[in-house]
Amino acid sequence: MATSDERGKVVNTLRDFLEYYEKLFPDDVVTIKTPVSLEYETTAYYNALKERNPVIRFTNIKGYPDFDLVTNILGSYRRMAFALRCNETELEGKWTELMRGDTEPDVIRKRRGYTLIQDNQVNLFALPVPKHYKQDGSKTGYGHYITSGLAITRNPDDSSVINLSFNRIQLIGETKYAFDAGSHGHMWKYLQKCRKKGERMQVTVVIGAHPLFYMLAASFIENEYRKACSFLKSSLVEGWLNDIPLPTGFEIALEAEVLLDESFDEGPFSEYTGYMGRDSTRNVAHVKSIILKKSPIYYDIQPSNSSEHVSLFSFPRNVAITTTISEFLPQGPVYRIIWPPSASHYLSLCYITDPEPGLAKQLGLAVLGLDPLFAKLCFVNQGAVDLTLENVLVNLARNGLEENPLIVDNVYCIKSNPTVDRNGTSSKIIIVTEGDNPEYTKTVEPDMVTLRTRYAKMVFSRKRVTGAKVNVILGKDVSLENTDEVAWSIATRVRPDKDIHLTQEGLVFEADKRVGEVPVIPPSVKRRIASTVTPRKPRWPQ
């Protein structure tokens, strides 16, 4: 286990971060040295190792001998904490402190160690961009997506304001990519301003920078460089063809301009919900240059509802919610909230110690109110408990049915929610339970998993089961034994006002309906890669 002094070592680049992290935590980094294809295989390796959840580094990419590829860097809070030079218990406080930082970064011209490729030498297909899932890009056949592109832009109305954001980037030609600018984010607003002015917008895409830049880009703020440089104490590097500075020690950069008079219907793409997303802003950019570090490391963020994808965009939101709750809810009780990454941020598990009457429900209301886009199902346990789905549901079966769940109908939410109405609303629910860590036995049968205490039982099953205080009904595509899959199914397939029923026997969750297209890896690839991997569990919490 790394000491505080070891964690506190300053590293300013992705390359240094990886080297130092592997030195301190060698069991949490898996290096794949056998030849790997970019057609689904990197994602197949991630899925085969998902339970263990390590950083994965590929050093032998077929057709790309000069590149390494790394994925799942920020797939755990422990690695996020390492990026902030602290441990997990200090992470929220360290992030809150960092968000108060405001330092004008130095921009230098020192560019040694890079190769500039421009004009007719630019070829995006020379980069090791994976195809992650079979349906990605199926509208047009262009299925290779850059998922870790930090899109860096200047505010057209105030060039001193620089923004970092994420785009999904689909390669559609040697010098062109299509991208989704998100909905109503800073880059989207900048694009609208440029359209009104009739000006092309410069954008530089960085692939492979210190992980802190990625965490900040997911924070929905502006001027992220001012916060990053106050923490890393590092400079920025001038751009080559664009008037946009880049993080020191970056691995790969694409200097581009958005073509405001062109559009391309990219997609679908495997989104954070665990389903295929079909919406797109249909933007197109022309790449003027590719800048490469020697022996570059290509950073890839696994799409769909991977731990890295969901944790990265939700972590800053989670800190803001928990900080606000601790400030405004009554002092005295201890509040604890987690969002299981597998549940796409739609499901939260909470506890409150020694609550006054009604305070547990108030905590649930606060979570729903502070997270209006994503929060849908909120479980609040009265009493400290290990916040696992099984513990919460067993406590619900034991003594949580006396008070009816609180369902709020027709509430605003993000339109990518699979249970959303056409008008952009869904229902949301607060369920209050009580008790400490429950003791229960677990019985596994072909179509049913039973968790039984002395006085009650809860069941995961394929159809309704009599005698169960809590019955979660799941589709055949979901493993009844895999609590990550169960949490995902409850979070994405249950609309509370229609799919949760309080009967005379107990509470029934109907989580078995299909609500979207699930991304798939070709079965032959999945089986072949899985046969080569031993998915050891980590020896420490993730």
Residue 356 has what DSSP assignment? P
- Name the token pair of 521: 């890896």
Q: Alpha helices of 68-185 — where are they, by DSSP H?
A: 77-83, 91-98
DSSP alpha helices (H): ranges in 169-306? 186-197, 211-217, 224-232
Contact 447, 478 (CB under 8 A): no
Q: What CA–CA distance (Å, rounded) separates 461 from 440?
A: 17
pLDDT at 284: 94
Q: pLDDT tens digits, the chain, 542 residues: what are they?
A: 455 455 556 688 999 999 999 999 999 999 999 999 999 999 999 999 999 999 999 999 999 999 999 999 999 999 999 999 999 999 999 999 999 989 998 898 877 899 999 999 999 999 999 999 999 999 999 999 999 999 999 999 999 999 999 889 999 999 999 998 876 688 889 888 988 888 889 999 999 999 999 999 999 899 999 999 989 878 899 999 999 999 999 999 999 999 988 999 998 999 999 999 988 888 999 999 999 999 999 999 999 999 999 999 999 999 999 999 999 999 999 999 999 999 999 999 999 999 899 999 999 999 999 999 999 999 999 999 999 999 999 999 988 676 678 999 999 999 899 999 988 899 999 999 999 999 999 999 999 999 999 889 999 999 999 999 999 999 999 999 999 999 999 999 999 999 999 888 889 999 999 899 999 999 999 999 999 887 555 433 33
- Pull the structure tokens for residue 486: 């169960």
Length of the chain: 542
Nearest Cα to Cα of residue 437 among 395, 486, 408, 479: 395
Assess contact for 436 and 384: CB atoms under 8 A: yes
Measured between alpha carbons, how far is residue 10 from residues 6, 7, 83, 233, 516 in Å? Answer: 9, 8, 9, 9, 44
Name the residue among 206, 256, 223 with its Cα closest to residue 105.
223
pLDDT value of residue 112 = 84
Is 442 exposed, middle or buried, given 0-12, 13-18 or 19+ CB atoms closer than 10 A?
Answer: exposed
For residue 268, cis peptide bond before it (omega within 30 degrees of 0): yes
Q: Which two tokens stand for residue 18?
A: 């990886």
Residues of 179-200 as b/e, b for ≥16 C-beta within 10 angstroms?
bbbbeebbbeebbeebeeeeee
Collapsing DSSP to helix, strand or coil, 162 comes out as strand
The one-letter amino acid code at 489 reads S
Instruction: Provide the β-strand partners of residue 107.
Output: 236
For residue 539, the model assigns a pLDDT of: 39
Residues 6+ apart with CB under 8 A from 503: none
Res 9: pLDDT: 67
Q: Please tell me the predicted confidence (pLDDT) of residue 424.
A: 85
User: What is the pLDDT at residue 6?
Assistant: 58
- Triad 429, 332, 389: Cα angle to 5°: 35
Q: Phi first, then psi: what are they for 211, rounded to 5°?
A: -55, -25
Instruction: Fill in the DSSP letter of residue 137.
Output: T
* Rounded Cα distance, 283 and 265, in Å: 8
Contact 95, 218 (CB under 8 A): no
* Residue 203 backbone phi and psi in degrees, to 5: -145, 135
Q: Cβ(202)–Cβ(153) under 8 Å? A: yes
| 3-class SS of residue 26 | helix
Residues 514, 259: Cα–Cα separation, whole Å: 38
Q: Are strands 470-474 and 507-511 parallel, antiparallel or unpaired?
A: parallel
The set of residues, in sequence order, having a beta carbon less than 8 Å from that of 46 and lying 6+ positions away, is 56, 71, 72, 302, 306
Residue by residue, DSSP assigns 171-206 as: E-SSSEEEEE--SSSHHHHHHHHHHHHT--EEEEEE
CB 88 within 8 A of CB 1: no
Measured in degrees and rounded to the nearest 5, phi and psi for residue 143 equal -105, 0
- Reading the block at residue 287, the tokens are 């790449």
Strand partners, 55: 29
First-last CA distance in the chain: 13
| Bridge pairing between strands 406-412 and 425-434 | antiparallel
How far apart are the C-alpha atoms of 304 and 519, rounded to whole Å? 8
134, 71, 37: which is closest to 523 by C-alpha? 134
* Sequence-ordered alpha helix ranges (H) in 270-388: 307-328, 359-370
Q: Say how far apart CA 204 and CA 180 lie, in whole Å.
A: 15
Whole-number Å distance between alpha carbons of 525 and 520 = 11
User: Going by C-beta distance under 8 Å and a sequence separation of 6 or more, which residues neighbour residue 477?
Assistant: 518
